[in-house]
Amino acid sequence: MSATQAPERLEFKTELKQLLDLIIHSLYTKKEIFLRELISNAADAIDKARFEGLKHPELLEGDTNWRIKLTVYKDAGTLMVSDNGIGMSREAVVQDLGTIARSGTKAFIENLKQADVKDRPDLIGQFGVGFYSSFMAAERVTVVTRAAGSTEAVKWESDGQGEFTIETADRPSRGTDVILHLREDAKEFLDPYRLRQIVKQYSDFIEHPIVMDVESVIGDDKTEVKEETFNSRQAIWLRNKNEVKPEEYTEFYKSIGRDFEDPLKVIHVSAEGGATDFKALMFIPAHRPMDFFYKEPKSGLDLYVKRVLIQHESEELLPTYLRFVKGVVDAADLPLNVSRETLQHHPLLAKIKSNLINRVLKTLGEMKDGEYENYLKFYKEFGVTLKEGVPQDWSNKERIADLLLFESTKTKPGEYTTLAKYVEAMPAEQKEIHYIIGETRQQIENSPYLESFKAKGEEVLLLTEPIDEFVMSTIGEYKGKKIQAADRGEVEKKEDARFEGLLKVLAAKLPRVKEVRLSGRLKESAAVLVTDEHGPSAHFERIMKRAGRSGELPESKRILELNPDHPAVTSLLTLFEKSPTDDRIDAFGHLLYEEAVIAEGSKIDDIAGFAKRLNDLIVKASA
């Protein structure tokens, strides 16, 4: 399209349209975060240019005076944020500024609608929608950009109401200008002092200079315009720990983590000499980003080589179960032109990764033992993610198991124990660590599966997360004690020759039952269903069914256990002894089975049959 043609008018994608409507018409307590987001985007664009320039120097056109410039046009009421980074092609502009290609956007919009006004600023950076925060302060936004290696610039413009225009434009060199036509209530962002304040607060540690031409008074009635750098540009991770103030750590974390809350913990690593030479600055956040479970699991660490960003969210630095950790790693011994393919197999990174995992797990252990309230806060936010490490990281399985917290039959709701405390408190005669999994604590703590353990005074861990099934089976054994599900296997063998005939008849008549036997686990209830040692539990089957994946499981049949001391069971035996072919035996057997299905938290398949059997029983009992 030539420069004389009319701009092409396009519509935003539906979800982005909804998002912009919320941003524009919602009240935010901290509108200034738009500047933090635009500066971060500009810094990313420069980092990408630097990295690409290592392999393709011609893209840089000799311009390596990296900078982010703020320019105010008071008469026009506009603020421009410019960079000489990688720039964008026409296709990239349409894709990146016209849509949000991010899973979880719908959930984000719903959370944004429901969030309190004071919480809303935290949401922007968490969903990678930083550019769109411009519309909190601007009634119209113009973007002029030219991609590295291209001779054509592109102009994008929108008022955020559902459409945008795109056309060719002029820009002398690569990079991007974002021009905000400020709203009347956002004219404070035309003040250089206010802009300097925002940069110092949110972007002081950006490596590239953030500059602005500032007019100042010199002498009598004389002024001069001088370019000032607003940020300190200190690579904080390269400094010694004793030189960094706590507030500097906090502001750096807020800058890279796009967070307004202080981190729970700072981990500053300086490994020099020996087999590895690197520095790392990592943070454990105080809360979970709202899109944490919606987006693709990625590392929270950026990889630098001599202050050059080599890889954002580097998967080579930490496993996904530690993806809540935010920070940077600077590996001095890696070559600057290292490729992504080479990164995956570089031996130095494997050593750094091992070191970082060790530092994070050690820090979490110290928090658990010495700062329990902080650790509890962390665990409530990221405990489920940490559990992923048990099946993922076999070499650190036991260390991760030591970090897990559990509610149990001997803890109050909301209070926790650990595997170490459990084993320490075990009676001498107890050989196994018992656990049970269900939907909620309330559902499982009154389960018939726990009756025998309560009678013996043995503690049972109460688990309610879908991942717990994999976690406990993977741990398998802890300090020589086998970990055993309370609803699996045989707790205590019971035999009574009087019941043999009845048990065989019931096993032949009942659906999805591989065996009917007498129970040693029941003290009060009449019947319970248990899984054999290697079959999928009822809880796991329910999870798969909700996920629409029940067809992936082999057909399973459970074991029905009857309490030989329960009046309902002894009455059924008496009826069987009098008349083995009585139709009521089948009906009562089904009722006991269905009672057990309900007790395990599952749904009865034949609801109509259950209702009929129950109604017939009521009629006969009242006749």
Indicate the residue among 351, 371, 391 that finishes a domain.
Answer: 371
- Considering the domain architecture, whether residues 17 and 145 belong to the same structural domain is answered as yes
Indicate the residue among 229, 263, 283 that finishes a domain.
Answer: 229
Indicate the residue among 485, 509, 530 that finishes a domain.
Answer: 485
- Considering the domain architecture, whether residues 210 and 334 belong to the same structural domain is answered as no
3-class secondary-structure state, position 225 = strand
Q: What domain range is 304 assigned to? A: 236-371
- Cα separation, 428 vs 536, in Å, equals 30
- Considering the domain architecture, whether residues 217 and 321 belong to the same structural domain is answered as no
- Considering the domain architecture, whether residues 578 and 552 belong to the same structural domain is answered as yes
- Considering the domain architecture, whether residues 323 and 174 belong to the same structural domain is answered as no
- Considering the domain architecture, whether residues 157 and 225 belong to the same structural domain is answered as yes
Residue 392, in any domain of the structure:
no
- Cα separation, 205 vs 283, in Å, equals 15
Residue 571, in any domain of the structure:
yes
pTM check: above 0.75: no
Residue 395, in any domain of the structure:
no
CATH of the domain at 560: 1.20.120.790
Q: Which of 492, 512, 491, 514 is nearest to 503 (CA)?
A: 514
- Considering the domain architecture, whether residues 137 and 56 belong to the same structural domain is answered as yes
Q: Which residues of 353-384 are buried (b: 16+ CB within 10 A; e: fewer)?
A: bebbbebbbebbeebbeeeeeebbebbebbbb
- Considering the domain architecture, whether residues 417 and 359 belong to the same structural domain is answered as no
- Considering the domain architecture, whether residues 317 and 411 belong to the same structural domain is answered as no
Residue 386, in any domain of the structure:
no
Query: How many domains does the chain divide into?
Result: 4
Residue 442 to residues 359, 413, 589, Cα–Cα distance (Å): 37, 9, 28
Q: Which residues in the chain come in under a pLDDT of 70? A: 1-5, 14-17, 19, 22-29, 98-129, 274-275, 294, 308, 336-342, 344, 550-555, 623
- Considering the domain architecture, whether residues 178 and 272 belong to the same structural domain is answered as no
Residue 399, in any domain of the structure:
no
Q: Which two tokens stand for residue 298?
A: 């990625």
pLDDT, one tens digit per residue, over 453-504 is 999 999 999 999 989 989 999 999 999 999 999 988 777 778 899 999 999 9
Residue 325, in any domain of the structure:
yes
Q: Which two tokens stand for residue 580?
A: 């083995």
- Considering the domain architecture, whether residues 54 and 126 belong to the same structural domain is answered as yes
Q: Which residues of 504-536 are buried (b: 16+ CB within 10 A; e: fewer)?
A: ebbbeebeebeebbbbbbbbebbbbbbbeeebe
CATH of the domain at 444: 3.40.50.11260
CATH of the domain at 207: 3.30.565.10
Residue 516 to residues 251, 262, 459, 566, 578, Cα–Cα distance (Å): 64, 57, 27, 15, 20
Residue 612, in any domain of the structure:
yes
Residue 400, in any domain of the structure:
no
- Cα separation, 405 vs 407, in Å, equals 7
CATH of the domain at 244: 3.30.230.80
The sheet with strand 527-530 has its strands ordered as 513-518, 558-562, 527-530
- Considering the domain architecture, whether residues 225 and 240 belong to the same structural domain is answered as no
Q: Which two tokens stand for residue 582?
A: 């009585």
